[in-house]
Amino acid sequence: MLDKFITPIIKPLLTPVVMLMHKRGITADQLTVVGFLVGLLAVPLLAFEMWYGALVAIALNRILDGLDGALARYANQSSSAGGFLDITLDFLFYAAIPLGFILANPEQNAIAGSLLLATFIGTGSSFLAFAIAAEKFKLEKPQFKYKSFYYLNGLTEGTETIALFIAFCIWPQHFAIMASIFAIACGITIFTRIHGGYHTLKQQEADANKAAENMPSSANSEVIND
C-alpha cells in the first residue's frame, strides 16, 4: 500500500551509490545475490536471539535490494532474468525471517509464525499469478513502469513487510501478536487481489474475444468496398 509513495522518495537517494557501483563494474545480479545472502544471516541471528544483529542484516538486505534494481536501470541491464532472480530471492527472504523467530521460541511463536508464512504464500502467489496473466494481456504498469513485470497493489506490500520485520526485532516479545495481526492484513490483501485480479482478467478476456469477433466482419466489409 505504501510502496507507491516510498519508492519515489528513496529512488533519488540511491543514484550516487549506483553511479559508483557502475564505475566499479558491479552488476545488478551480483547485488541481488549478495543482498540475499546477507539477509539470510538474519535467520541464525534470530534463532540465537541476537535481535539487533538480525535487524542490521535485514536492513542491509533491503538497501541492497533497492540498489540492484536502480543499478540495472542505470546501466541498462534490466532483464526478465534479473527480475525473476530478484523477486524469487525476495520471497525466500521474506519467508526466512518468520522462520528465524519460530526457531528462537517455538512454543510462543510457532503458531503465529506458521500463520504468517501461510498468508505470505497467499500474497506471493496472487501477486505472481496476476503478473503472468498481465503479461499475456500487455497490461500497463501505471505505478511501477520501471519494473520488469506487473505489480498488483495490496494492503500489505514490501514497505509494510519491512516495517513489520523491524518491529519484530525491536519488540521480539510481541512477535506472536504482531505476526497474527499482520497475517489478518495479508488475508485482506489476498482477498482483494483475487477479487480484483479475477474480475480484471475476466474483463480483459471479454474485450479480447469481442475484438476477435469484430475482426472478420471488418475484413469482409473492406473486401466488399473494394
pLDDT in tens, 73-85: 888 888 889 989 9
Q: Which of 3, 68, 90, 207 is an active site residue?
A: 90
Q: Which candidate, 149, 129, 121, 143, places its Cα nearest to that of 200?
A: 129
Q: pTM value?
A: 0.81
Asked if the model's pLDDT at residue 3 lies above 90, the reply is no
Distance CA(206)–CA(1), nearest Å, equals 29
Could you tell me which of 186, 9, 173, 170 has the C-alpha nearest to residue 94? 186
Alpha helices in the chain (DSSP H): 3-23, 28-40, 42-47, 51-74, 80-104, 106-136, 158-170, 175-225
Say how far apart CA 208 and CA 18 lie, in whole Å: 41
90 among known catalytic residues: yes
Identify the sign of the CA torsion 38, 168, 187, 152.
Answer: negative
Q: What is the pLDDT of residues 33-65, one digit of tens each?
A: 999 999 999 999 999 999 999 999 999 999 999
Give residue 192's identity as a one-letter amino acid code. Answer: T
